C-alpha cells in the first residue's frame, strides 16, 4: 500500500470532481422558478433512475472490457455536458432528456470506481484489500466535503446569476478528466477478451449465489426506503418550516454530517464487522423512523441519518461483494448489483409516490420505515444474508462459481 499513497491521494482528488454540491441546493428550485411543475420533476427523476438501470451493466462492461479509467472519464464528460446545459433547457421534454443523459453518465461512475480501487489495493505492495472499506469511505468523504463547499458557494452564486452554480459544477466535473490521466493504470485498465456473453454469464452466476443474492435483496429493501426519503425530504423539510433561502446552508450541513459519517466506515468494519452493521440496520431504521410519529420534528435527524447510511453502507456492501469476486468481471457484477438497487428505487418512486402524496411526507415516512424494518428483520432470520466467502469463486472470464 505504501507505493500507492500518491495514487490513492489522486483518487481522492478525482472523487471531489464527482460532487454535485453546486447543483443540489437549487437544481429543483431553478426549474420551479422557470415554470416547470412537480410532475416534470417526477418524470425527470424516473428517467434518471431507469436510464441509469439500463446503462449499469453496459457501463460495467466498458470498465471490464476496455478500461476502468475510460468508463470514469465518460461519466465525468457526460456530467460536464449535463451541468453545462442545465440552465438553458427550454421545455419539459428537454429537462427529462437531460436527466436521462445524466442517468447514463452516473452509471459510468457507480461501480467502476469501486472496482478500480479494489484492483489497486489488491495489486499493492502487501496485496491486501482489507483497507478497501476505509479508503472507499475516505474517498466518499472527499466528495462530500467538496459538495459541502459547493453548496455553501451556491447561494451567493445563485443570487448573482442563477446560471452560475450549474456552470461551476460543469467545470468541477471537467477537472476530473486530467486527474484520471494522472492516475496509474491497474490490471482492470488493460483490454481483455472479456465478451458480453461472458459478462452476462458471470453476472448471472454471481447473483445466483446465496451469499450474494440475499445480501442484495436485504440491502435493496433499505435502498428503496432511503431513496423514498431522499425525494420526500424537501416536502418534509418545508412542512417543518425550513425556508428555501436556507437550503444552501442546510444542504452544506447535510454534506458535512455525511462526510463525518463516512470517516467511521473503516471503524465500523473493524469494530463491528460487516455482518453486525447490517444486522443493526433493521432496529435502527425501525426506531428512528417510528419516532416521527411521536415527534414530527424528528424528520430532520432522520434526513441526516439517511444521508449517513447512504454513504456508509455502499463501501461496506462493496467490500463484502468484492471479497467474493475476482478482478475479471468485477465492475460488471458491481454494476449489476447497482442496477438492481437502482431499479428498486425507481419502482418505489412509481408505486409509492401517489401514496406518499396523498398521505403527506410526514405521515408516510414513519410507516414506510417501520414496514421496511419489519420485512428486513424477517428476511434476515429466514435467509442469513451475510455469509463467509466460499473457497472458490470466479477467477477468470471463462470460469464459473460454486454456491456459498
Measured CA to CA, the distance from residue 344 to residue 173 in angstroms comes to: 28
Task: Say whether pLDDT at 399 is over 50.
Answer: no
0.85 exceeded by pTM: no
**CB contact at 8 A, 335 and 60:** yes
Task: Say whether pLDDT at 393 is over 60.
Answer: no
Q: Which three cell numbers stand for residue 152?
A: 455553501
pLDDT at position 21 is 87
pLDDT at position 389 is 67
SS3 135: helix
Q: Is residue 45 part of a domain?
A: yes
Task: Say whether pLDDT at 193 is over 60.
Answer: no
Task: Say whether pLDDT at 79 is over 70.
Answer: yes
Question: Interior CA angle at 78 toward 73 and 79, to 5°?
Answer: 100
- pLDDT average, residue stretch 264-268: 80
Whose CA is closest to 293, among 372, 375, 362, 234? 362
Whose CA is closest to 375, among 218, 228, 230, 224? 218
Task: Say whether pLDDT at 202 is over 70.
Answer: no
Q: Which residue has the cell 468484492?
A: 322
Render 352-389 in DSSP notation, one character per residue. Answer: HHHHHHHH-HHHHHHHHHHHHHHHHHHHHHHH----PP
pLDDT at position 396 is 43
pLDDT at position 233 is 79
Task: Say whether pLDDT at 401 is over 50.
Answer: no
Residue 103 neighbours by CB distance under 10 Å: 26
Task: Say whether pLDDT at 172 is over 90.
Answer: yes
Q: How confident is the model at residue 282 (pLDDT cuts 50, 70, 90)?
A: very high
Can you give the residue range of the structural domain that contains 30?
A: 2-187+200-383
Q: Is residue 396 part of a domain?
A: no
Radius of gyration of the chain (CA): 20
pLDDT at position 318 is 79
Contacts of 382 (CB under 8 A, 6+ apart): none
Average per-residue pLDDT in the chain?
Answer: 79
End-to-end CA distance of the chain: 30
Q: Is residue 247 part of a domain?
A: yes
Q: Which three cell numbers stand for residue 216?
A: 442484495
**CB contact at 8 A, 264 and 348:** no
**CB contact at 8 A, 368 and 352:** yes
Q: Is residue 403 part of a domain?
A: no
User: 404 or 266: whose pLDDT is higher?
Assistant: 266
Q: How confident is the model at residue 183 (pLDDT cuts 50, 70, 90)?
A: confident
- pLDDT average, residue stretch 108-115: 71
Task: Of 50-59, 175-184, 245-254, give the range with the top mean pLDDT.
Answer: 175-184
Task: Say whether pLDDT at 258 is over 70.
Answer: yes
Q: Is residue 160 part of a domain?
A: yes
> What share of the chain has pLDDT > 70, as a percent?
79
Contacts of 125 (CB under 8 A, 6+ apart): 1, 2, 3, 4
pLDDT at position 280 is 92
Q: How confident is the model at residue 108 (pLDDT cuts 50, 70, 90)?
A: confident
- pLDDT average, residue stretch 135-149: 82
Q: Is residue 402 part of a domain?
A: no
pLDDT at position 374 is 94
pLDDT at position 373 is 94
Whose CA is closest to 288, among 343, 217, 368, 233? 368
Residue 198 neighbours by CB distance under 10 Å: 22
The predicted-structure confidence for 113-131, as pLDDT tens digits, reads as follows 777 777 777 655 554 556 6
Whole-number Cα distances in Å, 122 to 60, 135, 178, 182? 19, 13, 24, 20
Q: Is residue 398 part of a domain?
A: no
Q: Considering its fold, how many domains does the chain have in total?
A: 1
- pLDDT average, residue stretch 206-210: 70
pLDDT at position 1 is 47
Contacts of 250 (CB under 8 A, 6+ apart): 25, 237, 242
pLDDT at position 326 is 57
Whose CA is closest to 103, among 307, 321, 345? 345
Measured CA to CA, the distance from residue 338 to residue 325 in angstroms comes to: 15
Q: How confident is the model at residue 273 (pLDDT cuts 50, 70, 90)?
A: confident
Task: Say whether pLDDT at 331 is over 70.
Answer: no
Task: Say whether pLDDT at 176 is over 80.
Answer: yes
The predicted-structure confidence for 348-381, as pLDDT tens digits, reads as follows 766 777 787 778 778 888 999 999 999 999 999 9
DSSP-derived letter for residue 244 is G
Q: Which residue has the cell 435502527?
A: 284
pLDDT at position 285 is 94
Q: Is residue 232 part of a domain?
A: yes
Query: CATH number, domain at 152?
Result: 1.20.1250.20
Amino acid at each position: 500500500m505504501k507505493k500507492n499513497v500518491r495514487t490513492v491521494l489522486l483518487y481522492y482528488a478525482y472523487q471531489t470532481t464527482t460532487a454535485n454540491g453546486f447543483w443540489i441546493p437549487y437544481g429543483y428550485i431553478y426549474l420551479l422558478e422557470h415554470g416547470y411543475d412537480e410532475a416534470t420533476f417526477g418524470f425527470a427523476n424516473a428517467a434518471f433512475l431507469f436510464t441509469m438501470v439500463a446503462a449499469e451493466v453496459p457501463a460495467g462492461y466498458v470498465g471490464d472490457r476496455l478500461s476502468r479509467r475510460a468508463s470514469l472519464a465518460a461519466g465525468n464528460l457526460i456530467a460536464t455536458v449535463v451541468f453545462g446545459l442545465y440552465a438553458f433547457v427550454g421545455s419539459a421534454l428537454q429537462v427529462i432528456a437531460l436527466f436521462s443523459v445524466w442517468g447514463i453518465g452516473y452509471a459510468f461512475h457507480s461501480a467502476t470506481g469501486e472496482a478500480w480501487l479494489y484492483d489497486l489495493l489488491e495489486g499493492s505492495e502487501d496485496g491486501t484489500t482489507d483497507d478497501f472499506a476505509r479508503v472507499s469511505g475516505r474517498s466518499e468523504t472527499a466528495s462530500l466535503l467538496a459538495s459541502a463547499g459547493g453548496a455553501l458557494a451556491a447561494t451567493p452564486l445563485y443570487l448573482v446569476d442563477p446560471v452560475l452554480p450549474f456552470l461551476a459544477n460543469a467545470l468541477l466535473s471537467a477537472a476530473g478528466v486530467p486527474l484520471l490521466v494522472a492516475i496509474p493504470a491497474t490490471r482492470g485498465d488493460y483490454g481483455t477478451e472479456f465478451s458480453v456473453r461472458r459478462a452476462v454469464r458471470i453476472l448471472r452466476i454471481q447473483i445466483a449465489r446465496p451469499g450474494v443474492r440475499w445480501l442484495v435483496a436485504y440491502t435493496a429493501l433499505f435502498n428503496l426506503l432511503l431513496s423514498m426519503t431522499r425525494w420526500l425530504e424537501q416536502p418534509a423539510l418545508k412542512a417543518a418550516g425550513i425556508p428555501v433561502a436556507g437550503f444552501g446552508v442546510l444542504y452544506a450541513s447535510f454534506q458535512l454530517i455525511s462526510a463525518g459519517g463516512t470517516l467511521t466506515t473503516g471503524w465500523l468494519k473493524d469494530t463491528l464487522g460487516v455482518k453486525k452493521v447490517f444486522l443493526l440496520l433493521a432496529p435502527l431504521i425501525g426506531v428512528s423512523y417510528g419516532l416521527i410519529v411521536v415527534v414530527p420534528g424528528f424528520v430532520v435527524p432522520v434526513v441526516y441519518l439517511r444521508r449517513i447510511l447512504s454513504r456508509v453502507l455502499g463501501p461496506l456492501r462493496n467490500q463484502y461483494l468484492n471479497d467474493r469476486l475476482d478482478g475479471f468481471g468485477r465492475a460488471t457484477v458491481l454494476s449489476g448489483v447497482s442496477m438492481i438497487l437502482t431499479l428498486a428505487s425507481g419502482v418505489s418512486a412509481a408505486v409509492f409516490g401517489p401514496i406518499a402524496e396523498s398521505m403527506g411526507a410526514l405521515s408516510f415516512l414513519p410507516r414506510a420505515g417501520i414496514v421496511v424494518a419489519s420485512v428486513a428483520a424477517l428476511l434476515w432470520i429466514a435467509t442469513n444474508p451475510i455469509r463467509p466467502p466460499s473457497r472458490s469463486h470466479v477467477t477468470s472470464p471463462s470460469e464459473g462459481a460454486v454456491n456459498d
